[in-house]
Structure 1
Amino acid sequence: MARKPAPFAPFEWMIAWRYLRAKRAEGGVSVMTWISLVGITLAVFALIATLAVRSGFRTEFVDTILGSNAHVTVYSGGERDAATGRVDRSIPDYAEMAERVREVPGVTRVAPLVKGQVMGTANGRNSGIEVFGISPDDLATIPRIADPETAQGDIASFGGETIAVGSGIARELDLTVGDDIRLISPDGVKTAFGTSPRVKAYEIGYIFTAGRYDIDRTRVYMPFEEAQLYFNRDGAADELEVMVEEPEEVERLISEILAAAGANAYAWTWQDASGGFLRALEIEDNVMFIILSILVLIAAMNIVSGLIMLVKNKGRDIGILRTMGLTEGAVLRVFFICGAFTGILGTVAGTVLGCVFAIYIDPIFSFVNYIMGGGVWDPAVRGIYALPAELQLGDVLSAMALSLGLSFVVTIFPARRAARMNPVEALRYE
């Protein structure tokens, strides 16, 4: 008794390979194969490139937030002044509160801050500025400020009446290291005739680029004691800037931080501040994945068209092979190999192109920007200075799995049609 050949035997691969190399005179199958191959390649390339840019944008956005802003901001609920009706939210015991919060497990850094909004003026230009009063030692521990993408001057010069400004402010006011900037605060000196604006000039000792347009364009760091004098915060701070080991899990520490800070303390996390944007990114990610998955499906449908033409043109061959003893399963596997091979080759090519695009996105984007005459990426709108991309193994594998899965599934239907073809009907008119 003859032994039944195993599935996907060598002769099945040989027949499938001959069909894939069919000439145009034999029905134009090779042309349809190339169209299917190019479609799958471009679809997978687009999917991987989009996922890489999505991951890079979120990583860069979160990194700029966590690298230059507090993970948790602790502030006081305040006490209302019975005479004036104003609520004083300053923290007079900031040193003791900071020490207690610093002892919470998972907290890596606590810095008292004095904050205020002023007008900066220099060289006949004006700009709105947000001042952060902070000690030199605490400033040196902010990652994106102490170790920025680019910097001018020396951070060690920060102190006294020497301040640090963002590169956007320096560019807007045409300033460089060593220049003076005048800061004007409406809440200045209290006199018998009311409150007069406070105007004072400071020397610029350090210019940083944190990587976020809104930070570089508005932020100025001032020595803590000088900020207390300038904003009339004698012996007090406005809030505590808290950094933690695991910013993504910051919500777990909120109760402990508030317990250490005191009964009248409140907390505001970086997720609270940027939660809306992060949720919008997540929704956009899901929508883009669905849309591009449909694009991959459309490209995979070209395989169906090619296989249907192949089955139609090879009807006589199928009839002969069936009369020679080829089983329905063998015929199905032959045509499945034809479609799956196209899907595999297109997926591999698209994956390579997508990975190369993500790796070399900077020169590619620079070339596109040059061709378009510049201005393709507006940091004032996007918040960051360049289009980032980050390859993640999970994204690449998900794109490959989606493409291969769809390619294999759509191949089954025309392959089954070929397998169920009646050999007598196939040879009747031959």
Structure 2
Amino acid sequence: MKTAPFAPFEWMIAWRYLRARRAEGGVSTMTWISLIGVTLAVFALVATLAVRAGFRAEFVDTVLGTDAHVTVYSQLYVTETGQTTRALTDYAEMAERVSAVGGVLRAAPLVKGQVLANLRASNAGVEVFGITKPDLLEIPGIAGSSQSLGSLESFGTGPGQGIAIGSGVAREIAASVGDKIKLISPNGVRTAFGTSPRVNAYEVAYIFHSGRFLVDKTRVFLPFDEAQAYFNKEGVADEIQVMLAEPEAVDAAIPALLEAAGERALVWTWRDSAGAFLRALQMQDNALFILLAILVMIATMNIVSGLIMLVKNKGRDIGILRTVGLTEGAILRVFLIVGASIGVVGTALGVGIGVLFALNIESIYQVVDLVTGQQRQSLERDGYIFPPALLLWSDLARAVGLSLGLSFVVTIFPARRAARMNPVEALRYE
């Protein structure tokens, strides 16, 4: 007899098969195994994707919290005295033009140089960033460091100038707030007999902890005017640091920034500096997704096993249903509903548990700390990241689509086997 696809009686038969006990010819045990398998596989997929997304977001936030979103600098050119340089002589005007570009939060001139930091018998190679106090206060990873020591109020003030150093630098030379450290540059004072090293002493006003190991271990912030004098760069800057309202849209902002900066300008974005690591993360994410997709596929194979057993146990029922007029299509849809229902319910449970896991990741970290005796705080101080989980709709859609797709596909084979069963053979020995 002809019926509409997925008629109510088809759902009723499928439901009876799903909840049938083994004594009635059902395979409820296999149904539960299939359901649990799909649930755990989808949970693992959702949880892993959320943790990986959180790690990437944490890394990007750390990069954006300490470095410029875009660095504007100059092409090499020859000065009137015949020297080759990249120095920006019109840095104030360039910063003002760049600041006027839509989406730019601020543009800060910068002077950079590498020197030796010394305190008592300890030395460390550091990278000095010369920056104004208002611009330094706008760097969230530095000024907003929750584990910082001291204050930026005295940055660049008083005799000897207050400076900011990274926690790694402070640890390397055993410096604390209030200590006076020496910065030694080989390219120092110009005299009639050549250039002698420049040695200046500065008081440590602020020790920051940005969360980036290399930044904390090597970076020192010096007041902009003092850095110009220290590195013999009076009246010039090395580059312009640009902060954007939407760092993820940095590629779209480049043409306008280049136009505002001038014809000799070049740019270097945060994607360029962190691009290799981000690409490596993306490759790892793809590999993890493939491995977990295989896990989901294995879990959905349990649905096939359960349906094959169900078809075998329900051979008599299938024969009777066919003799009373059910078409092959109706039988096919009944078993499709059985297999798909397991996949849908397992997927929903797996996503639900995965979401709960992601939302309570901090509590889970604490439980792991309690069980294993590990102290995350000490590891985090050394630069290790324990990221929060981040739920992305795209990741949830991928997990749901993969699980449901595999559940529907693997159901087709046993459903077709049931639909093509010969009713005469099924009832021969009944």
Q: TM-score, normalised by structure 2?
A: 0.88
Aligned to 1:416: 416
Q: Residue 107 of structure 2 aligns to which amino acid in structure 1?
A: V
Distance in 2, matches of 1:366 and 1:168, equals 27
Matched, 1:237 2:264: no
CA contact (8 A) 2:211 2:381 kept: no
* Partner-residue secondary structure (3-state), 2:44: helix
Aligned to 1:109: 106
Distance in 1, matches of 2:355 and 2:410, equals 26
Change in 2 beyond 3 A, CA 1:242/1:384? farther
Runs of 4+ in 1 over 6 A off after TM superposition: 375-381
1:146-168: CA deviations, max 9, x gaps?
A: 32343333222222311122233
Change in 2 beyond 3 A, CA 1:26/1:172? farther
Q: Residue 36 of structure 1 aligns to which amino acid in structure 2?
A: S
Distance in 1, matches of 2:395 and 2:317, equals 42
Matched, 1:147 2:144: yes
* Partner-residue secondary structure (3-state), 2:68: coil
Distance in 1, matches of 2:169 and 2:355, equals 37
1:275-325: CA deviations, max 9, x gaps?
A: 222233333333332332232222111111110011112112222233344
Aligned to 2:27: 29
Deviates more, 1:114-123 or 1:33-42: 114-123
Return the offset for 1:342: 1.2
State percent identity of aligned pairs: 63
Matched, 1:69 2:64: no
Return the offset for 1:207: 2.4
1:319-358: CA deviations, max 9, x gaps?
A: 2233344333332232222211211121112111211222
1:173-252 alignment, distance < 5 Å? 173-252=173-252
1:118-167: CA deviations, max 9, x gaps?
A: 22233643333211110011111223223234333322222231112223
* Partner-residue secondary structure (3-state), 2:148: strand
Which stretches in structure 1 are left out of the alignment for 5+ residues? none
Return the offset for 1:192: 4.7
Matched, 1:310 2:313: no
Distance in 1, matches of 2:361 and 2:173, equals 32
Aligned to 1:138: 135
CA contact (8 A) 2:17 2:26 kept: no
Distance in 2, matches of 1:357 and 1:125, equals 46
* Partner-residue secondary structure (3-state), 2:387: coil
Deviates more, 1:172-181 or 1:239-248: 172-181
Count of residue pairs the alignment pairs up: 426
1:398-428: CA deviations, max 9, x gaps?
A: 2112211211221122112112211110111
CA contact (8 A) 2:228 2:236 kept: yes
Aligned to 1:98: 95
Return the offset for 1:9: 4.2
Q: Which of 39, 47, 65 is the equivalent residue of 1:49? A: 47
Deviates more, 1:17-26 or 1:354-363: 17-26
* Partner-residue secondary structure (3-state), 1:150: coil
Aligned to 1:15: 13
Q: TM-score, normalised by structure 1?
A: 0.88
* Partner-residue secondary structure (3-state), 1:115: strand
Return the offset for 1:16: 2.6
1:6-35: CA deviations, max 9, x gaps?
A: 544444334333322344456782222222
Distance in 1, matches of 2:217 and 2:155, equals 19
Aligned to 2:275: 275
Q: Residue 251 of structure 2 aligns to which amino acid in structure 1?
A: E
Distance in 1, matches of 2:237 and 2:171, equals 30
Distance in 2, matches of 1:412 and 1:323, equals 23
1:363-402 alignment, distance < 5 Å? 363-368=363-368, 371-372=371-372, 374=374, 385-402=385-402
Return the offset for 1:94: 1.7
CA contact (8 A) 1:181 1:204 kept: yes
CA contact (8 A) 1:55 1:391 kept: yes
RMSD of the alignment, in Å?
2.9
CA contact (8 A) 1:361 1:388 kept: yes
Distance in 2, matches of 1:99 and 1:410, equals 62
Return the offset for 1:241: 0.9
Deviates more, 1:221-230 or 1:210-219: 210-219
Distance in 2, matches of 1:223 and 1:82, equals 29
Return the offset for 1:91: 2.0
Aligned to 1:333: 333
1:351-370 alignment, distance < 5 Å? 351-368=351-368
Change in 2 beyond 3 A, CA 1:66/1:7? same
Distance in 2, matches of 1:123 and 1:23, equals 81
Matched, 1:159 2:140: no
Q: Residue 298 of structure 1 aligns to which amino acid in structure 2?
A: I
Return the offset for 1:379: 6.7
Distance in 2, matches of 1:184 and 1:373, equals 44
Deviates more, 1:86-95 or 1:415-424: 86-95
CA contact (8 A) 1:27 1:309 kept: no
Aligned to 2:119: 122
Change in 2 beyond 3 A, CA 1:326/1:178? same
* Partner-residue secondary structure (3-state), 1:297: helix
Which stretches in structure 2 are left out of the alignment for 5+ residues? none
Q: Residue 126 of structure 1 aligns to which amino acid in structure 2?
A: N
Deviates more, 1:47-56 or 1:322-331: 322-331
1:28-83: CA deviations, max 9, x gaps?
A: 82222222112211221121122212322222222222222112212223444798
